Amino acid sequence: MVSYFREDIETLPRDELDGLVDERIRYTVKYAYENSPYYRKWFDRNGVNYYDVHNHEDLRELPIISGGVIRENQPPETNDFEFKSTSWGNVFTIHETSGTSGIPKSFFLTWDDWKAYAEKYARAFVSQNFGAGDKVVVCASYGMNVGANTMTLAAQKIGMTIIPEGKCTFPVRIIKNYKPTGIVGSVFKLLRLARRMESEGMNPKESSIKRLIAGGESFSEESRTFLEEVWNIPVYNTYGSTEGTMCGECIKKAGLHVPEDLLHLDLYDPTLENFVKEGKCGRIVLTTLLPVGGKTGNLLINYDTDDTTVIVTRDKCKCGRTHLRILNPQRESETVWVGGFPFNRVDVEQGVFQRDNMDGLTGEYEAFLYGDADESTLKVRMECKDPKSCDKDMVENNFIRTFLKYKPGLQQAYIDGTFHMMFDFTESEGLEFYRIKGRPKRLVDRR
């Protein structure tokens, strides 16, 4: 049985949905001029009238905003926060990004913003068959990032119970005692949790968990499939950010639904000058959409997320939802180039998680790229369940075949001898990232 959180909106016919989007684009741009210091100065300085922006095509006339632009328009670079789009009296919470690439970006959320964020996650939860009576463990941090708190608010809207662990290292007794029906966490956190359960005599396949949500980082379809095998339950994908992205995959697993009435998503070419055609990979550029009369604390128009994806289709999904669907986004920062040809961390992961490999591997891996402009070497290190019994030759052959299959440029470089691959197999916790605090960086360019 198909369920909806807002059936009237989620199943809105395409022509009506497009009309609603254009209406909200017009209001959002007007709100930006009237309430955002940054946008008001930009419109006036460039001689552009906000009322000339009628639809999403017209958004191309407005600037692309990067994280760097946001940092340049907040303290200490400026006296005030130029992207803050409401009075301090309306700001409910203040948030910062992780700041891994410099000074953290600041974001200001009103209570209306929180309700909109929560609705996006509530739609995703319901599309994944969560509902009243479900108990969900959230393995995402409660702090300056918004994800965990947003899921908690979304749960309240649909009658779910949240177990706010924050990390996936919680005691196995949590599952034994409270019998949760779902867990939110990254693929690797959920694989590690399954191994801990097994070491304590608890079979993940026989637990109370009925479905998993993998979020927090992109992943390969192969790693998702293996995770489903380990738990013997479906694993659904979500994609979210402090900027308010929040897209969710439904039970049909045919792409992540974009809540188009609340978030406008365009895909641009690498130069950020033109849209890419549907079916082609492009950089995700998003715009906050406000309902007429709505307010927001931090308005972003044409925000470059540094992530890439492909629009799967704008046709109606088999679940009945009409909003467009995208592929699992990949982070541009996790893409490297060899001889003019790119590959992403997810491509490495795909090679690791070939099914035959997983009889001997845990799934944990890291990869390092060495060399110079003329010659490069990719060294992949994989953690084994037992290094002595692992079929290393088979794993290497499976990886090379899979990794090069859809990369003719890299395949030719490999044949020519300008691109090499090396492999190393370690015992439990023998990988380098285990000795480094923070989220593991699985593809490192050391050229």
* Residue pLDDT, tens place only, 340-392: 999 999 999 999 999 999 999 999 999 999 998 889 999 999 999 999 999 99
Percent of the chain with pLDDT over 70: 98
Using 50, 70 and 90 to split pLDDT, how confident is the model at 231?
A: very high
Mean pLDDT for the stretch of residues 129-152: 92
Using 50, 70 and 90 to split pLDDT, how confident is the model at 101?
low
Q: What would the pLDDT profile of 27-38 be if each residue is shown by its tens digit?
A: 999 999 999 999
Q: What's the CATH fold of domain 1-328?
A: Rossmann fold (3.40.50)
Half-sphere exposure (CA, 13 Å, Cβ side) for 390? 21
Residues whose CB is less than 8 angstroms from the CB of residue 208 and which lie 6 or more positions away in sequence, other chains included: 175, 179, 180, 181
Going by C-alpha positions, the residue among 341, 342, 324, 325 that lies closest to residue 333 is 342
CB atoms within 10 A of CB 411: 16
pLDDT at 440: 85
- The residue among 287, 333, 344 whose CA lies nearest residue 307 is 333
Residues of the chain with CATH 3.30.300.30: 334-445
CA pair distance 414, 419, nearest whole angstrom: 5
User: Mean per-residue pLDDT for 292-318?
Assistant: 94
Q: Give the residue carrying structure tokens 């709505």.
A: 294
- If you average pLDDT over residues 106-112, what whole number do you get? 94
Instruction: Give the per-residue pLDDT at 277.
Output: 87
pTM of the model: 0.92
DSSP 153-204: HHHHHHT-EEE--SSTT--THHHHHH--SEEEE-HHHHHHHHHHHHHTT--G
What are the tens digits of pLDDT across the range 237-279?
999 887 888 899 999 999 999 999 999 999 998 888 889 988 8
* Dist. CA 152–CA 148, nearest whole Å: 6
pLDDT-derived band at 145 (thresholds 50, 70, 90) equals confident
Question: What is the assigned CATH class of domain 334-445?
Answer: alpha beta
Dist CA 225 CA 406 (whole Å): 20
Q: Which of 136, 143, 110, 106 is nearest to 121 (CA)?
A: 136
* Mean pLDDT over each residue of the chain, to the nearest integer: 93
Quick check: 204 pLDDT over 80? yes
Has residue 110 got a pLDDT over 80? Answer: yes
**pLDDT tens digits, residue range 160-190?**
999 999 999 999 999 999 999 999 999 999 9
Q: How many CA atoms lie within 13 A of 421 on its CB side?
A: 21
pLDDT at 99: 56
d(C-alpha 335, C-alpha 380), whole Å: 15
Percentage above 90 pLDDT, the chain: 85
Q: Residue 273: its pLDDT value, please? A: 83
Residue 199 to residue 36: CA distance in whole angstroms? 54
